[in-house]
Structure 1
Amino acid sequence: MQIKIITIFCCLFSFGNIIAQKNIKLQSPNGQIAFNLFIQKNRPFYTVTFKNETLVQPSSLNLVFDDGAALENCKMRQPPTFSEGIDDYQLIVGKTSVVKQPYKQAIIFFESLDGAKYHVNLEVKIFDDGLAFRYLLPSQVNKISYTLLEENTQFHFNGDPITKALILPNFTSSHEGLYTTALLSQIKEDTLMDMPALFQCNKNVFVGITEAALLNYAGMYLTKHSGILTSQLSPLPGQKDIKVKAQLPHQTPWRVMLISDRIGALIESNIITSLNMPCAFKETDWIKTGTTTFPWWNGTIVPDTSFTPGNNFETNKYYIDFCAENNILYHSVVEYGGHEWYTNDGNGYEPGPHADVTKPVYGLDMKQLCDYAKSKNVGVRVWVHWKALYPKIDTAFALFEKWGLSGMMVDFMDRDDQEMVNIQTEILQKAAAHHLHIQFHGAYKPTGLSRTYPNEFTREGTLNYECDKWNNLITPDVDINIPFTRMLAGSTDYHLGGFRAAAPNQFKVQYTRPLVMGTRCHMLAMYVVLENYQGMVCDYPDAYIGQPGFEVLQHIPTTWDETKVTNAQIDEYITIARRKQDNWYIGTISNNRSRELAITTNFLPEGEYSATIYSDAEDVAINPNHLTKRVISLKNNSIIKITVASGGGNVIILHKIK
């Protein structure tokens, strides 16, 4: 349920005085963040301050249509409206279950003075931990639709912030790569930066830029034009100029700036979901998040058996039995030996002319498999290439429901133009009608739609442990970037669960039974540090059975009631505490440096707790899979001192005693 307490109030000045001043100010509820808008030479600019210090210098706003620019020469056509209230809602999937967030809001009304004379409204919403704005396109005189060539939104930072961003070569991307850290001035002009991007400004103020509620619009990137950070939209396929075509009225996604002098506040923020519409589904009991197998990662390893391994009932039964015995909610049917579970005459995983996701390969009866899994209280998911799924989406989803599937990973989307954005929205909507959840792979970042469509469990959009099958790029130094960048947008699929850690000098690439870098405790802690509603347990069963720490994966939640960042230093380490009902899970990961940290439990409610602590063993430099486990009792406001090895981690599980 959503409750909004809204007060509409008049401007402090008459409209004539506002025009004369050409300055509109909106402050956050706590007064620390301010958004200022003014018109200079008939063009709108905005600035942003934090604690009275300028973060964003005058930055222009504009939309460029095929028949003219809307805001290059404009005026305010009527007085702004101001409101304030509290976003009060519950999340079905998320890093918190209940959000109560005060805000202030303004809508500013513009009219272009020449050309096509567009009416454009700017909606601004400001919170204690950031702000967002979007362009509203109301119904226009003599227009029923529009064609957008570009959205020129500037973010002109004061000073030269340290930038942490994913640099991409073009718009057709899986959004996977290593993050670049550099002064903004050192990044080349016209370099395409993916979002979220993090900016560390003067006096250690942190700004995360991303977007929310990406619907029927092109995905946004950041680039530098004449030294100023500017938005750039992904073009529609087959050409370079047209970015968006839509019917009126319409609106852009929200342009979001997460702002704080405490980096953990950006990770804790709920702004992105608050900017999305409430849940679109009347019934949600069928939505169940949890961990899943993903045998593709390990090579679909099975023990010596009497059956032939492959795309068959027996191979999948082996994994389903493992799930049933170890509290793993889902099993994923993917492929075997490089061939999908469905009929395909294409090369590799690319769909051929006769690819058909409604026809399993010979010897695989999906209804039989789902019935067996159901008898074991295990759900079945499938992997599909989007090009094989989408042409048969209605038939496929109806059949998937008939079989008894729970959901799927949809892969190789590799675009975020308006057409692809609409395809993904359609997939979510139609999947929900058949009680199917969705994991988008090879896809762009989340934009908070898991509030509106909570069957969106997770997205990739980041380089991750799948790469351990073919290269050595994913190190603890890479892992530590993700909470401060990609995870600012939401649920982050990272192919967790590799239980064969190797020291850096012993790591080697293996396509089957891959190795991972970082200690066993580092891997366990990643399940807490990363927000991910569809956690993977992607190694093979015998890699887990009897192994220290596996009990953490058997009981780890995937959605949370509360999230707190207790320790964080960019590039170095992070500690995140997450609550599920009365139990708390605290995860810490480090880069390639060992360190001692103190965790203060002042976030705990009053009471006594039993703390189970998983720590790196003393010999992890030689045996990175070794760990220690101890149980202590403590009270709230205690201090827990931990030692984290190079590339290590720590997990603390707190159960309330009384």
Structure 2
Amino acid sequence: MNNFSVLALLVFMLGATLQARPVVVKSPDGRIETTINTDKQLTWSVVSQGVTVLEASPLSMTFDNGVVAGKNMQGVKSRIRSVNQVLTPVVAVKNDRILDHYNEAEISSRDGYSVVFRCYNDGVAYRFITRFAKPVRVMDEEVRLVFSGDHATWFPEEESMFSHNERVYLDVKLSDISNDRMCSLPMMVRIADGPKVLISEADLEDYPGLWLRGGSTAHTLQGLLSQAALETRLSGDRDVRILRHANYLAETKGTRSFPWRYLIIAHADKQLIESEMTFKLASPCALKETSWIKPGKVAWDWWNALNLYGVDFKAGVNTATYKHYIDFAAKYGIPYIILDEGWYDLKDLMKVVPEVDMEELVRYSREKNVGLVLWTTWKALDDKMEEAMTQFEKWGIRGIKVDFMKSDDQWMVNFYYRT
């Protein structure tokens, strides 16, 4: 072997060694550390204040163009950056100014994708980004969370993926969660002698929502996502059940960012409430004009089942009852009332029931300076979207409560954006 061949071999070996070297990114305060390995299978592990939160956990996405992002990564490059900025939400739910301070590692492949990992002081997150020239089908996504032991959890178990997601959180061990048990998000893992870890997602768009189930190995949770719907059937006025699924999760743009998968890591319970992780990871507000968004308390008829006492009329879904609610709201400074289920014919959103004089309620609520919020099923609204929105604007309706979606597939997620 000549000297040139030996030198070329050494350069190749050095390059391979550098490519396989782990990338480490820490939170700004240095208490959380994420280690990313790209050798054959992309994995990430997380340590918080010396306690192992995640052991090496694989992640990947499979596309119909032949790319399996996260496996056998080619031409790997990494870029580290730090961001320290302040976000100002349109609606200040917890804070009117949110510190967005993180360190980030972007691991890119010459196959047209990258994976971004972020470390905040209150948790960690990752997402895939693709730069394919043509639209793709996402065939599968591997979300696997490998924990260090048989920790306790708060597990909101679901019976099927057709659900309201109104579940009881069960106190079960990771070992109790078999592969046939599943939950919606968020869920929590309580690390023994360590932090509480809340698992969820953010910036979900044009893609199915993430659920979790028991993994095939010990102390593991794995992702569960609904495949795209090919055939559906309407049951009643609101339930659209999927009869036949595709063999893929989503058809989507080739160049895009996929949802964040995140962990809030809390060594004190109050940190769970204080965290603004979902907002920090969300895309910026797409609305240019937001002055019309005015949150506030609401008098809700459904809360007390329309039971009114000591009145000179029969309580129920009728004009007199809603005038009484408007009077109550005006007296106590409550800016809105809701007309929940019953104000329209469930077969047609545009048909107000005879017992409700909507024009009079609109006039009376305006006189009393109380805004009206209307309830509707998602299906009724979707069937008459343009007509309904035009009418609601004409009436001066201040908000819409949309209900009974009961699905997390790509089509239903896109309904939120259409609305």
Q: Which of 131, 139, 147 is the equivalent residue of 2:124? A: 131
Code of the residue aligned with 1:57 in structure 2: it is E
User: Does the CA contact (< 8 Å) of 1:54 and 1:158 recur in 2?
Assistant: yes
User: Does the CA contact (< 8 Å) of 1:70 and 1:120 recur in 2?
Assistant: no
Tell me the CA shift for residue 424 of structure 1: 1.1
Query: 1:234-273 alignment to 2 at 5 Å?
Result: 234-237=226-229, 238-239=244-245, 241-273=247-279
Q: Match for residue 400 of structure 1? A: 392
Q: Match for residue 638 of structure 1? A: none
Q: Match for residue 169 of structure 2? A: 179
User: Does the CA contact (< 8 Å) of 2:178 and 2:215 recur in 1?
Assistant: no
Q: Secondary structure of the equivalent of 2:62?
A: strand
Query: 1:542-561 alignment to 2 at 5 Å?
Result: none
Code of the residue aligned with 2:150 in structure 1: it is D
Once the two structures are superposed, residues 362-401 of structure 1 have per-residue CA deviations (whole angstroms, 9 ceiling, x without a partner) of: 2533232122112111110111111111111111111101
User: Does the CA contact (< 8 Å) of 1:206 and 1:259 recur in 2?
Assistant: yes
Query: 1:479-628 alignment to 2 at 5 Å?
Result: none
Query: 1:115-130 alignment to 2 at 5 Å?
Result: 118-130=111-123
Q: Cα–Cα, structure 1 residues 75 and 377, in superposed 2: closer, same or farther, change >3 Å?
A: same
Separation of aligned partners in 2, 1:204 and 1:48: 13
Larger RCO of the pair (alpha carbons < 8 Å, separation 6+): 2
1:425 maps to 2:395? no
Once the two structures are superposed, residues 577-610 of structure 1 have per-residue CA deviations (whole angstroms, 9 ceiling, x without a partner) of: xxxxxxxxxxxxxxxxxxxxxxxxxxxxxxxxxx
Q: Cα–Cα, structure 1 residues 286 and 67, in superposed 2: closer, same or farther, change >3 Å?
A: closer
Q: Match for residue 105 of structure 1? A: 104
Separation of aligned partners in 2, 1:266 and 1:315: 40
Once the two structures are superposed, residues 593-628 of structure 1 have per-residue CA deviations (whole angstroms, 9 ceiling, x without a partner) of: xxxxxxxxxxxxxxxxxxxxxxxxxxxxxxxxxxxx
Tell me the CA shift for residue 31 of structure 1: 0.8
Separation of aligned partners in 1, 2:141 and 2:209: 11
Q: Match for residue 603 of structure 1? A: none
Q: Match for residue 223 of structure 2? A: 231
Q: Match for residue 322 of structure 1? A: 328
Q: Cα–Cα, structure 1 residues 72 and 212, in superposed 2: closer, same or farther, change >3 Å?
A: closer
1:64 maps to 2:76? no
Code of the residue aligned with 2:306 in structure 1: it is T
Q: Secondary structure of the equivalent of 1:398?
A: helix
User: Does the CA contact (< 8 Å) of 1:150 and 1:232 recur in 2?
Assistant: no
Q: Which of 285, 299, 303 is the equivalent residue of 1:297? A: 303
Separation of aligned partners in 2, 1:190 and 1:65: 25
Q: Secondary structure of the equivalent of 2:42?
A: strand
Q: Secondary structure of the equivalent of 1:319?
A: helix
Q: Cα–Cα, structure 1 residues 224 and 333, in superposed 2: closer, same or farther, change >3 Å?
A: same
Tell me the CA shift for residue 200 of structure 1: 0.9
User: Does the CA contact (< 8 Å) of 2:228 and 2:411 recur in 1?
Assistant: yes
Separation of aligned partners in 1, 2:19 and 2:253: 34
Q: Cα–Cα, structure 1 residues 290 and 60, in superposed 2: closer, same or farther, change >3 Å?
A: same
1:33 maps to 2:32? yes
User: Does the CA contact (< 8 Å) of 1:380 and 1:406 recur in 2?
Assistant: yes
Code of the residue aligned with 1:197 in structure 2: it is M
Q: Secondary structure of the equivalent of 2:75?
A: strand
Code of the residue aligned with 2:109 in structure 1: it is F
Q: Match for residue 554 of structure 1? A: none
Q: Match for residue 15 of structure 2? A: 16
Separation of aligned partners in 2, 1:394 and 1:77: 49
Separation of aligned partners in 1, 2:369 and 2:52: 56
Separation of aligned partners in 2, 1:85 and 1:67: 34
Q: Which of 144, 147, 151 is the equivalent residue of 2:141? A: 151
Q: Secondary structure of the equivalent of 2:94?
A: coil
Tell me the CA shift for residue 316 of structure 1: 1.0
Q: Cα–Cα, structure 1 residues 262 and 76, in superposed 2: closer, same or farther, change >3 Å?
A: farther
Once the two structures are superposed, residues 415-451 of structure 1 have per-residue CA deviations (whole angstroms, 9 ceiling, x without a partner) of: 1111000001221xxxxxxxxxxxxxxxxxxxxxxxx
Q: Match for residue 343 of structure 2? A: 341
Q: Match for residue 286 of structure 1? A: 292
Query: 1:191-230 alignment to 2 at 5 Å?
Result: 191-227=181-217, 228-230=220-222
Separation of aligned partners in 2, 1:312 and 1:186: 50
Separation of aligned partners in 2, 1:44 and 1:72: 5
User: Does the CA contact (< 8 Å) of 1:302 and 1:318 recur in 2?
Assistant: no
Deviates more, 1:81-90 or 1:305-314: 305-314
Tell me the CA shift for residue 17 of structure 1: 7.3
Separation of aligned partners in 2, 1:223 and 1:73: 22
Q: Match for residue 381 of structure 1? A: 373
Separation of aligned partners in 2, 1:17 and 1:65: 26
Tell me the CA shift for residue 201 of structure 1: 0.8
Q: Cα–Cα, structure 1 residues 305 and 71, in superposed 2: closer, same or farther, change >3 Å?
A: closer
Separation of aligned partners in 2, 1:106 and 1:128: 15
Q: Cα–Cα, structure 1 residues 396 and 18, in superposed 2: closer, same or farther, change >3 Å?
A: farther
Q: Cα–Cα, structure 1 residues 296 and 110, in superposed 2: closer, same or farther, change >3 Å?
A: same
Q: Match for residue 474 of structure 1? A: none
User: Does the CA contact (< 8 Å) of 1:367 and 1:404 recur in 2?
Assistant: no
Separation of aligned partners in 2, 1:17 and 1:85: 30
CA RMSD of aligned residues (A): 2.0
Separation of aligned partners in 2, 1:359 and 1:389: 12
Once the two structures are superposed, residues 300-343 of structure 1 have per-residue CA deviations (whole angstroms, 9 ceiling, x without a partner) of: 123455545444322211110011001111111124xxxx2112
Once the two structures are superposed, residues 464-508 of structure 1 have per-residue CA deviations (whole angstroms, 9 ceiling, x without a partner) of: xxxxxxxxxxxxxxxxxxxxxxxxxxxxxxxxxxxxxxxxxxxxx
Separation of aligned partners in 1, 2:38 and 2:83: 27
Question: So what's the TM-score if we normalise by structure 1?
Answer: 0.57
Tell me the CA shift for residue 137 of structure 1: 1.1
Q: Match for residue 94 of structure 2? A: 95
Structure 2's unaligned 5+ residue stretches are 1-13, 230-243
Code of the residue aligned with 2:280 in structure 1: it is S
Once the two structures are superposed, residues 88-121 of structure 1 have per-residue CA deviations (whole angstroms, 9 ceiling, x without a partner) of: 111222211111231111211125xxxxxx5321
Question: So what's the TM-score if we normalise by structure 2?
Answer: 0.88
Q: Secondary structure of the equivalent of 1:60?
A: strand
Q: Cα–Cα, structure 1 residues 74 and 392, in superposed 2: closer, same or farther, change >3 Å?
A: same
Q: Secondary structure of the equivalent of 1:217?
A: coil
Code of the residue aligned with 1:85 in structure 2: it is V
Separation of aligned partners in 2, 1:274 and 1:246: 24
Code of the residue aligned with 2:159 in structure 1: it is P
Q: Cα–Cα, structure 1 residues 153 and 316, in superposed 2: closer, same or farther, change >3 Å?
A: same
Code of the residue aligned with 1:386 in structure 2: it is W
User: Does the CA contact (< 8 Å) of 1:87 and 1:274 recur in 2?
Assistant: no
1:55 maps to 2:47? no
Once the two structures are superposed, residues 274-293 of structure 1 have per-residue CA deviations (whole angstroms, 9 ceiling, x without a partner) of: 11122222222221111112
Separation of aligned partners in 1, 2:70 and 2:319: 63
Separation of aligned partners in 2, 1:307 and 1:263: 48
Separation of aligned partners in 2, 1:258 and 1:334: 35
Separation of aligned partners in 1, 2:143 and 2:312: 63
